[in-house]
Structure 1
Amino acid sequence: MHGVKRVRYSREALEAKKQKEQAKLKEYLSLNDDVLAKRNAGDWSKDAFDLTTRVLHANAEFYTVWNYRRDILINSIFPNSSPSEVHDRIGDELSVTTSLLKQHPKVYGIWNHRRWCLANIPDGPSDTDLDGWRKTIWNKELYVVEKMLDADARNFHAWNYRRYVLANMPMKRPAQAELVYTTRKIEANFSNFSAWHQRSKVLTSLWEGGQLDPHKSKEEEFDLVKNAMYTDPGDQSVWIYHRWLVGAGNAYDILQREIASIQELLDEQPDSKWCMESLVFYKRLLLRHHARQLSEADRLSLTQECLRLLTGLQDIDPNRRQRYEDLAADVKKIN
């Protein structure tokens, strides 16, 4: 790797390093054999539980062991514990997964175990406050996942988990607050596709719930995405979000306006692949959905412009030449 100083080992040091790695591998394989033997024997003891902890710290992707760990909790530990003790045990499990996530932030098994923990929080702390423990832990989860996204804003595992938390927490967080959060993440990094995706989910929910005027807020979104386009026209996530905003292309005026805006950007960035691809995409929508509003000369002009752009794309992006040739054939069929 660039910038990493190479270390030269003596023959003796290499041999010692090799023996150490072999010893670790031998120990790990022995742990695997032990934990699988206990699982197959239906052993739900504390020793078996502690063994799963050791194995998962060595290999957090061992999904069978995560399942075995949950079996021990469900069949042995929880039935013999008070609600308060179960609550504390859930807290311990979340702490274990937090520690593992710091080393392995994109391992499915860790995130899945965390979801399982949230689903098994007992009622309490009292008969008059049955959701108290749940509220506290779920609110903390939102804080934890925000810290994970501060460390890696594009960790899709963390974004998926965030959606799960927001959708299921006992006291729902206002969707407007999540819109503010995605704005902050996007403005920090326009290439954060996960944040754009989350934004589309939040906006859809707000529109369907009547909490935002679709027309007004979409215009604000077009302004936001236009700023992102001009900042980094080579970023794919921005263009995908723009296509989501345009939708099926039923709004003739919006299509015409956005085509003109992208053309302005292409005039400044004549080799922009995404500008060219988007112009072809939106002009094809015009030809497909608004042919009656176009004169024969306009339709011919749009067809010729699409073919010219697709020829240019073959030169700029030769690895996808066949795709552009197929699109050109499709354009000819439309007209």
Structure 2
Amino acid sequence: MAALKVHPKVYWIWNHRGWCLNNVPSGPGTEDEGDPRGWEKDLWNKRVVCVLAWSYRRVVLASMPIPRPETSELAYTTRKIEANFSNFSAWHQRSKVLLSLWSKGELDPKNSREDEFDLVHDAMYTDPKDQSVWIYHPLARWFRSACFLPLSIQNSRDIQGDDKEILEREITIIQSLLDEEPDSKWCMESLVHYKSLLLRNHSLSANTSTLRRECIALLKQLREVDSGRKARYDEIELELAKS
């Protein structure tokens, strides 16, 4: 523990501590060293955004004799995210817990997804420039994670992006935020992504020419505000031309 207080971002210290947990669970060490709730004390709260600390937390949770309910862990991530929307590690932990709860049938994907949208919207409007929330945004996050879900959930309209109502709702919300933050690259990237999904999945009922024109205009803005990724936006525009 003393080494971690000085070097909290050194992987091998966390790794060795994990080895000790598995091989010498009862000591040697002080009373605090053996505390199974040690991550909730001073050091953990100071390093609450440290990726290595969260990885070690998962090791501890997996090794507990009496498993901690995953719903409790979900509530814990809620508290940490509400305290700091920039805590990407908490968002990541939340995604893992949700996927596990869904796969076990212990949480309804549709209802819980709406709760996630509410949480994400709060974070988006609090700090539009923070990448953590945009990486986690439910549609983008769960499209990429769908392969880990049961087939019944993988094939749902929500995961596949076939729910036009949700796509249009999110586009409206993000567009409203972009109107307030006109230089937000995360808003622009998300709008291009979701409008592209409308083009791909709802071409028969959507105004494809307008959507394509709007995407191209957004990509032009992105090249200006994020010039380092110009080639990426060129590639996206080429893909749009094929859709």
Instruction: Please report the TM-score for the alignment, with normalisation by the length of structure 1.
Output: 0.62
Aligned residues: 222
Letter in 1 for 2:114: E
User: Relative to structure 1, is the Cα distance of residues 293 and 190 closer, same or farther in structure 2, using a 3 angstrom cutoff?
Assistant: same
Instruction: For residue 138 of structure 1, report the CA deviation from its aligned partner.
Output: 10
C-alpha offsets along residues 74-118 of structure 1, whole Å, 9 cap, x if unaligned?
A: xxxxxxxxxxxxxxxxxxxxxxxx011111111122111111112
C-alpha offsets along residues 248-283 of structure 1, whole Å, 9 cap, x if unaligned?
A: 423222111111111111111111111001000111
Partner of 2:175: 263
Letter in 2 for 1:291: S
Q: Is the Cα contact below 8 Å between 1:230 and 1:265 reproduced in 2? A: yes
For 1:17-166, list aligned pairs within 5 A. 98-121=1-24, 140-144=35-39, 147-166=42-61
Partner of 2:141: 244
Partner of 2:75: 180
Counterpart CA distance in 1 for 2:176 and 2:34 is 46
Instruction: For residue 168 of structure 1, report the CA deviation from its aligned partner.
Output: 2.2
Moved over 6 A (4+): 136-139
Counterpart CA distance in 2 for 1:284 and 1:120 is 51
Instruction: For residue 198 of structure 1, report the CA deviation from its aligned partner.
Output: 0.4
Partner of 2:129: 234
- Specify every segment of 5 or more residues in structure 1 that has no aligned partner in the other structure, as ranges: 1-97, 125-135
Instruction: For residue 121 of structure 1, report the CA deviation from its aligned partner.
Output: 3.7
1:315 aligns with 2:229: no
Partner of 1:202: 97
Q: Which of 108, 115, 120 lines up with 1:225 in the alignment?
A: 120
Q: Is the Cα contact below 8 Å between 1:138 and 1:169 reproduced in 2? A: no
Query: Matched residues, percent identical?
Result: 55
Partner of 2:165: 253
User: Relative to structure 1, is the Cα distance of residues 146 and 288 closer, same or farther in structure 2, using a 3 angstrom cutoff?
Assistant: farther
Name the Cα RMSD after superposition. 2.1
Instruction: Please report the TM-score for the alignment, with normalisation by the length of structure 2.
Output: 0.85
1:284 aligns with 2:196: yes
Q: Is the Cα contact below 8 Å between 1:145 and 1:158 reproduced in 2? A: no
Instruction: For residue 139 of structure 1, report the CA deviation from its aligned partner.
Output: 7.8
Partner of 1:4: none
C-alpha offsets along residues 42-77 of structure 1, whole Å, 9 cap, x if unaligned?
A: xxxxxxxxxxxxxxxxxxxxxxxxxxxxxxxxxxxx
Counterpart CA distance in 1 for 2:205 and 2:83 is 41
1:331 aligns with 2:232: no
Letter in 2 for 1:224: L
Counterpart CA distance in 2 for 1:212 and 1:138 is 35
Q: Is the Cα contact below 8 Å between 2:51 and 2:89 reproduced in 1? A: yes
Letter in 2 for 1:115: G
Q: Is the Cα contact below 8 Å between 2:9 and 2:50 reproduced in 1? A: yes
Partner of 1:211: 106
Q: Which has the higher contact order (CA 8 A, sep 6+)?
A: 2
- Specify every segment of 5 or more residues in structure 2 that has no aligned partner in the other structure, as ranges: 144-158
Q: Is the Cα contact below 8 Å between 1:207 and 1:213 reproduced in 2? A: yes
